Amino acid sequence: MPRGQKSKLRAREKRRQAHAETQSLEDAQATGAVAAAAAAAAGESPSSVCPPFEDRPQNMPAAGTPSTPEGPQGTTKANAAVSCTNSDEGTNSQKKESSKSSKGIEDLRRDPLHMKVALLVHYLLHKYQKKEPITKSDMLKFVIKKYKYRFNEILKRASEHMELAFGLDLKEVDPTRHCYALVSKLDLTSNGTMNEEENPPKTGLLMIVLGVIFINGNCATEEEIWEVLNMMGVHAERKHFIYGDPKKVITEDLVQLKYLEYRQVANSDPPRYEFLWGPRAHVETSKMKVLEFLAKIYDTVPSAFPFWYEEALRDEEERAQARMAARARAAAMASARSRATASARSRAMASNFSQAK
Could you tell me the fold of the domain covering 112-184? Arc Repressor Mutant, subunit A (1.10.10)
Segments of the chain assigned to CATH 1.10.10.1210: 202-285
The predicted model gives 112-129 an average pLDDT of 88
pLDDT tens sequence across 243-297: 889 999 999 999 999 999 999 999 999 999 999 999 999 999 999 999 999 998 8
Residues present in the chain in total: 357
Q: DSSP string covering 216-271, please? A: TTS-EEHHHHHHHHHHTT--TTS-BTTTBSHHHIIIIIHHHTTSEEEEEPTT-SS-
Q: DSSP string covering 58-73, please? A: TT----------EETT
Q: Supply the pLDDT for residue 46.
A: 35
Residue type, 341: T
Residue from 271, 246, 249, 273 nearest 262 by CA: 273
Q: Supply the pLDDT for residue 182.
A: 92
Residue type, 209: V
Instruction: Report domain 202-285's class.
Output: mainly alpha
Segments of the chain assigned to CATH 1.10.10.1200: 112-184
What's the predicted TM-score (pTM) here?
0.62
**Whether the predicted pLDDT of 63 surpasses 70:** no
Q: Supply the pLDDT for residue 220.
A: 95
**Average pLDDT score over the chain:** 74
